[in-house]
Amino acid sequence: FEDMLDEKLSISMAEYRSIGIAKMLEQQLAPATHTPSYQFSMGARQQVADSVSPRAALFDSPESFVAGVRQAAVEVAGTVGISPRALIAQAALETGWGSQVMQSAGGTSTHNLFGIKAGDSWDGNRVAVESIEVINGIAGKVRSFFRSYDSLLDSFRDYGDFITSQERYQPVLAEGTDEQAFTTALGASGYATDPAYGQKLQRILQHPALQQLVTGEEVR
């Protein structure tokens, strides 16, 4: 079942659509009174969000997602020294091309595109997410806090600060604009629990919506 989840989920997120296996897992693990949203976020936790934090679609296609985040990605990637395409690919993987972004209890978007949790050092807005996390093959409910931003640009900028401020990601940043090396290093860094995280990023980079962004074209 885990093998099916891993493979089907990665493909589904790359195509920005939900899948039946999510519903199966949610129904099996949730109590009878629970009303699930049946939506996945494939990021640092491999989780299934429930009704405590519903998900909303900020974009309706990979093409609209790329167009909507392009300038923010170019800005932050230029500051950090990485590829804008790799940055967009990670946001796409984490949110299903912007179709599954966490909301606050009031229904406003958190604009959290990278699944970054709100630890003790975070003094900004946050949202509580009760999720089913799969750790060492065991699924269980965990309630965590995630960062909430005022805009997508803020999410990108905070990601840049986050990845540059931690020692564990320095080998990732050292790969610079080499997308293959960067995504491989990111997958090995522990950013996500999914061992195939890097490979999935590389597959998303081959999507036609990102193929339009070639060297030199990102800044137009």
Mean pLDDT of 181-189: 96
Contacts of 170 (CB under 8 A, 6+ apart): none
**What gap in Å lies between CA 220 and CA 36, rounded to an integer?**
42
Enter the tokens of residue 53.
Answer: 């934090």
* Confidence category of residue 23, pLDDT binned at 50, 70, 90: very low
Q: What is the pTM of this model?
A: 0.72
Judged by DSSP in three states, 6 sits in helix
Q: Which residues of 35-58 are buried (b: 16+ CB within 10 A; e: fewer)?
A: ebbbbbbbbbbbbbbbeebebbbb
Residue 18, CA atoms < 13 Å, CB-side half-sphere: 19
The per-residue pLDDT for 2 is 53
Contact 25, 48 (CB under 8 A): yes
Mean pLDDT of 112-131: 88
Query: Which range among 8-22, 165-179, 201-215 shows the weakest confidence by mean pLDDT?
Result: 8-22
